[in-house]
Structure 1
Amino acid sequence: MLKQNMDLHAAGKRYSQSDGPVRRFNVKGKKLVNVVREDVVVRSAAEKLTHNSEKEDYIQELKQLATDLQFDPVIHLMQLNETEKELKDVPLDELVMNVCDGSDIDGVPGPSVAAYLESHNYQNVVGCDSLFINNTLTKNGMKELFRENLVSTPPGFALTKDMDLAKLIDQWGMTYPLFVKVSDSYGSVGLDDSSVCHDFEQVSTKCADLFKEFENLTVEEYIDGQEYSVLVSGNCRDENQNVIVYPPAERAFNKDLPRFKRFISYVRNWDETLLAHNYEAVEDSNDVAALQDLSRRAYAAVSGNAYGRVDVRKRDVSGKFYVLEVNASCGLGKGSSSEFILKLAGQTTQDFFQILLSSALKPPAETPSMQGSLGNLTMEPDSGVSLEHEEKDKVTALPPVLPAEVEQKIAKLIRNPSLALVPNPVVHVICAAVLTDAEACIPDPEGKLALSYGKDVEYVSELESIFRGLSYDPIVHVYNVDDVQDTLTKLSKEEDLIFNACLGNDGLAVAKLIEEIGFTHTVGLNARFFTESHDRQLMREGLSKSRLSVAAAVRAHRGQDLQALHSELIKEGIDVPVYVKPRIRGKQQTAHSLGQKVTTDEELKAVIATLPESEDWLIEDFVEGAQYMVLIAGDARDPCADLIVFPPVRVERSALSNAGKNSNGILGVVRKLSMISLGNKTKHNAQSATSTSVTGSTSALADSFSSMKQPDDLILQMDLQDLARRAFVAVHGSCYGLVTIVDREDGAGLTVIGVEGDIRFGDEKSGKILNLAGQNTEALFSWLLKRPVKA
């Protein structure tokens, strides 16, 4: 009967429930496992040991699990090339659980069993299918899929005996230490303490040793840092199925292990007496979210279905996560990493299998049944072929496949808040990350970040946390470490959202690349704003063209004729005190790069004589008066775009000078008029910021900035906001910027000192300005992400 109905479907016909196959809950469960007999030839003794280790206990555990779930288990011990002989009498509607985890290449069945079940149309299969298994058979193949799908993975290449190892290392720009492993093996086979190589000789020796037994190797950069495991289940190719990402677990290595032995070698993996590692919960909520997001993408990149484990490492020096591999048909049950992960989610292995079975035990896809909380099955399109007695062929709902109480339990399990279920919109964040702690005993394996205008690791994590809090999935690309140009060229110009968080020359280079490609949706400074905010002379010219008041200045350089310089200063009406600062804003915001105040002619001569060679400097009239800062967000290039002009803050020179000012009254009305609403958190945050300002509980806040007095300063505040907006437009501002203005004490009015585009949010400037305005960084980013602009 079943064969007949399958033929009807092949002919494009539907069939009624009465003619369709019957699903049963209490059925025989066929368990397919592979145990390597002593007389079977396999590729290596280590792989045979890996397959057979505690396999009898595992089989008994599976049998007990099936029995507890009201199944009658039948175990099939599979051998390579004997699949048909073993399974030919198993009915097609039986529930089959495939846990064969060999590679076929090694002499142990794996993908061949899955392929057999698919080719013979077994209806109820629990286990990874052949596509998923084949995609994860080799580490080299996985790396290609990861790179194609923008999943961060350690830089590395495939190696065979006939390849030029030294040339490949050079071409890939590899940085030591490197890690050498077998591409198509498992269970840490081939890994030992010599796998981490610190020079070419060690790499060459390790490769030669492995080539004695294996044909395909992987050479990659060693990721020095913490290691994690993440369990994922579900079919990523079925939009009607939940892909569940469980809480990550850290594989915490014994601290007595030397630094470069903190990885799972073969001995440390299988000799439990060594106590090499245990599993711990990941406490940092931002790391939890990052690991779940990355693991879901890695699972999708290799077309995951059923279940698998994603192994990830975090590089200490940059804080970035890298996927090592995805393990299809990973170990389950007692003592496994999966058991610990399930405990983190408050679940058991039995709970895990109930969720898997709920997707395997389903009505045939040809019926339109929507029964069960996890059914979501769609009937195939009608071919238009009429059936005899079609008026009698009324499709009715199938009875529930699982008992109602089981379905309810599964639905409850999936609602577990520790699980990640729904993919978030992706934002590609480009960041230059470098540890800023000069005394940190962590090397820079890339060897090229020390001179970069980079942000510290904590800030990268901060950005990720902000985006995740806004329900985005941030993919971080570390400039000067990752191949950002290659990555961006592979993205969709029309669909992908890009956030350029780089500063300085790095930010300018990335902005130019983004504009060259022509992305439709970008957030960040445009290349022209980068240039004009870095070049103080260009900035001054732009401000002057817009008829904005700027301090008079002349250009100077080392070795300049002092008499000619003095004449030029007189011509511009500039007299000491003056401010001497570099024309180009420096990479590092040091006191030297920011400039210095000079109060006498003799001091000015001495400064000119010691200026760095081949650099232009500006001698600027020192403007005395009250100094203000205004934060602006938006795209000044678009005359129709909204610009947020935040309330100005006064830069305080004395501690707590304005700590007790009242921040209520008319300023609240002005804020509503001058700012676009930034979301539901505004009211709460405004109350919080006001409280901090009034009480002075955060002394640093009062020391640096204070809200303006009101209502006395209302007119001045409005003038400052209008002037700041004009200055931002004059230098082609985009995304956000800080405008510094001085209210001159000589009565000459408001003078623009500068517009700064390189802003790190959360620092002593921007973060406090936002707080005083009753806002936070999340609110500002939420507004920016909803209004991306064309590059």
Structure 2
Amino acid sequence: MAKYKVLVLMHKSLIPPEDFTEEEYLSADWKTEYDVMETLRELGHTVHPLGIVGNLELLRNALDEFKPHIVFNLLEEFDGNPTFDQHIVSYLELKRQAYTGCNPRGLTLARDKALSKKILTFHRIPVPKFFVFPKNQKIKETKKFFYPLIVKTTTEEASTGIAQASVVNNFEALKERVEFIHETYGTDVIAEQYIKGRELYVGIFGNKRVTTLPVWELEFTQMPKGVKKFATEKVKWDDKYREKYGIRSIRAANLSEQETEKLKILTKKAYKALGLSGYARMDFRFDENGKAYVLEANPNPGIQCGDEFPESAEAYGLKYKDLISKLITLGISWNKNRH
């Protein structure tokens, strides 16, 4: 593989320190950034980290001075707003700068859970039925509501704001949770049909030609009775909680070839319908009757060593170094074909 000058773009607070202990690494928030940069260096690339918060001038100067062949995009927000990350990618496109990950149009469509579901529904891709509650509008009861529903912010990621209390069984609980999301996160709210079943993930990468990865599952082995099994914020981020209740991400078992193929076909259809590129992960609920529903599309999913996406890539046959190289190749290819 050619050797490139790679600008690694990240939040300022996530630039790894030069010296640290193994214990500090294991508990650090910057593990993804470290894993990616170290791997790029091992591959022979020249790496320049750039941490930004809300100053676009820093990025412009780095592009002018460092002149990277490609920007490895690990930025998930800009100026504290997670919906601004697509604008950074738009800026890179305007500069005709190659970058890794998804294009800005795909990011915009996928980040909005309500908009993306409308698009997927148009393409006859199964999604949970849903209702949208815009900010600053009165919440009125209607005969159209059914229960249980799961209440989420429309634009926040990483299970932000999702808890056991997110699943509601009547209008009073629905209204209370919608108001909580409005006040706490300042976003519109989506209330989706809660589907009892398995939580499955399918990784995918590519631009025009795409490859799906083995199906992964969020497994709940020791949850108490009465506790619903889905990816809450606590499940996603609290390691002690995961260990206590036997929650782990593993390769999905007990799926027939037909069921696996169905998930992969839906993943490819959703990826295309939303105009995604680079790499992504589709999240599914697989109900007790064997029907798969797309919960959401996640462009630029976590690529820290040990995350679902790299683990499923390794099961496919792509070691971590190969995966990072592939993302670089896809970014270079996307830029060449666009310009």
1:35–1:55 contact (8 Å) kept in structure 2? no
Shift of 1:34: 1.8
State the match for 1:261 in structure 2: 228
TM-score (norm 2): 0.86
The within-5 A match list for 1:551-570 is: none
Q: Decide whether aligned partners of structure 1 residues 243 and 163 sit closer, same or farther in structure 2, where only a CA change above 3 A counts.
A: farther
- Say which SS state the counterpart of residue 218 (structure 2) adopts: strand
Higher helix share: 2
Q: Decide whether aligned partners of structure 1 residues 82 and 103 sit closer, same or farther in structure 2, where only a CA change above 3 A counts.
A: closer
Structure 1 residue 221 corresponds to structure 2 residue 196: no
| Letter in structure 1 aligned against 2:166 | S
State the match for 2:18 in structure 1: none
Please point out which of 106, 125, 132 is paired with 1:151: 125
Please point out which of 28, 49, 62 is paired with 2:5: 28
- Say which SS state the counterpart of residue 55 (structure 1) adopts: coil
Structure 1 residue 185 corresponds to structure 2 residue 159: no
2:53–2:80 contact (8 Å) kept in structure 1? no
| Letter in structure 2 aligned against 1:220 | E
CA distance in 2, matches of 1:292, 1:194: 31
| Letter in structure 1 aligned against 2:105 | L
Shift of 1:139: 0.8
Structure 2 runs not aligned, ≥5 long: 15-26
| Letter in structure 1 aligned against 2:248 | N
The within-5 A match list for 1:534-553 is: none
Structure 1 residue 292 corresponds to structure 2 residue 259: no
Shift of 1:109: 5.0
- Say which SS state the counterpart of residue 297 (structure 1) adopts: helix
CA distance in 1, matches of 2:237, 2:320: 22
Q: Decide whether aligned partners of structure 1 residues 327 and 103 sit closer, same or farther in structure 2, where only a CA change above 3 A counts.
A: farther
Please point out which of 169, 176, 179 is paired with 1:205: 176
State the match for 2:219 in structure 1: 252
Q: Decide whether aligned partners of structure 1 residues 90 and 314 sit closer, same or farther in structure 2, where only a CA change above 3 A counts.
A: farther
The within-5 A match list for 1:306-345 is: 306-316=278-288, 318-345=289-316
Q: Decide whether aligned partners of structure 1 residues 133 and 265 sit closer, same or farther in structure 2, where only a CA change above 3 A counts.
A: same
- Say which SS state the counterpart of residue 324 (structure 1) adopts: strand
- Say which SS state the counterpart of residue 159 (structure 2) adopts: coil
1:227–1:250 contact (8 Å) kept in structure 2? yes
State the match for 2:20 in structure 1: none
Structure 1 residue 102 corresponds to structure 2 residue 69: no
Q: Decide whether aligned partners of structure 1 residues 134 and 94 sit closer, same or farther in structure 2, where only a CA change above 3 A counts.
A: same
State the match for 1:272 in structure 2: 239
1:151–1:323 contact (8 Å) kept in structure 2? yes
Q: Write out per-residue CA displacement over residues 556-606 of structure 1, whole angstroms, 9 at most, x where no aligned residue.
A: xxxxxxxxxxxxxxxxxxxxxxxxxxxxxxxxxxxxxxxxxxxxxxxxxxx
State the match for 2:88 in structure 1: 113
Q: Decide whether aligned partners of structure 1 residues 312 and 108 sit closer, same or farther in structure 2, where only a CA change above 3 A counts.
A: closer
| Letter in structure 1 aligned against 2:102 | C
CA distance in 1, matches of 2:66, 2:29: 26
State the match for 2:101 in structure 1: 127
1:97–1:125 contact (8 Å) kept in structure 2? yes
Q: Decide whether aligned partners of structure 1 residues 185 and 198 sit closer, same or farther in structure 2, where only a CA change above 3 A counts.
A: same
| Letter in structure 1 aligned against 2:95 | H
The within-5 A match list for 1:343-382 is: 343-362=314-333, 365=336
Q: Decide whether aligned partners of structure 1 residues 118 and 165 sit closer, same or farther in structure 2, where only a CA change above 3 A counts.
A: same
Structure 1 runs not aligned, ≥5 long: 1-23, 38-52, 366-376, 381-791
CA distance in 2, matches of 1:135, 1:54: 31
- Say which SS state the counterpart of residue 217 (structure 2) adopts: strand
1:333–1:349 contact (8 Å) kept in structure 2? no
Shift of 1:178: 0.7
| Letter in structure 2 aligned against 1:274 | Y
CA distance in 2, matches of 1:263, 1:364: 37
Please point out which of 115, 118, 141 is paired with 1:166: 141
Shift of 1:349: 2.1
State the match for 1:142 in structure 2: 116
When Rg is computed on C-alpha atoms for both structures, the one with the higher figure is 1
Shift of 1:333: 2.2
Q: Write out per-residue CA displacement over residues 131-189 of structure 1, whole angstroms, 9 at most, x where no aligned residue.
A: 1111122111111111122111100021124144412xx33xx4311110111101111
The within-5 A match list for 1:574-593 is: none
1:180–1:217 contact (8 Å) kept in structure 2? yes
Shift of 1:66: 0.3
| Letter in structure 2 aligned against 1:253 | F
- Say which SS state the counterpart of residue 64 (structure 2) adopts: coil
1:313–1:324 contact (8 Å) kept in structure 2? yes
Equivalent pairs: percent with the same residue?
A: 21
Shift of 1:104: 6.2
2:82–2:156 contact (8 Å) kept in structure 1? no
- Say which SS state the counterpart of residue 60 (structure 1) adopts: helix
CA distance in 2, matches of 1:108, 1:131: 12
Q: Write out per-residue CA displacement over residues 1-48 of structure 1, whole angstroms, 9 at most, x where no aligned residue.
A: xxxxxxxxxxxxxxxxxxxxxxx92222111112459xxxxxxxxxxx
Q: Write out per-residue CA displacement over residues 430-456 of structure 1, whole angstroms, 9 at most, x where no aligned residue.
A: xxxxxxxxxxxxxxxxxxxxxxxxxxx
State the match for 2:274 in structure 1: 302
State the match for 1:176 in structure 2: 147
The CA RMSD over aligned residues, in Å, is 2.6
The count of residues paired between Structure 1 and Structure 2 equals: 319
- Say which SS state the counterpart of residue 203 (structure 2) adopts: strand
The within-5 A match list for 1:435-514 is: none
Q: Write out per-residue CA displacement over residues 698-737 of structure 1, whole angstroms, 9 at most, x where no aligned residue.
A: xxxxxxxxxxxxxxxxxxxxxxxxxxxxxxxxxxxxxxxx
State the match for 1:196 in structure 2: 167
User: Which structure would you say has the larger RCO, counting Cα contacts within 8 Å and 6 or more residues apart?
Assistant: 2
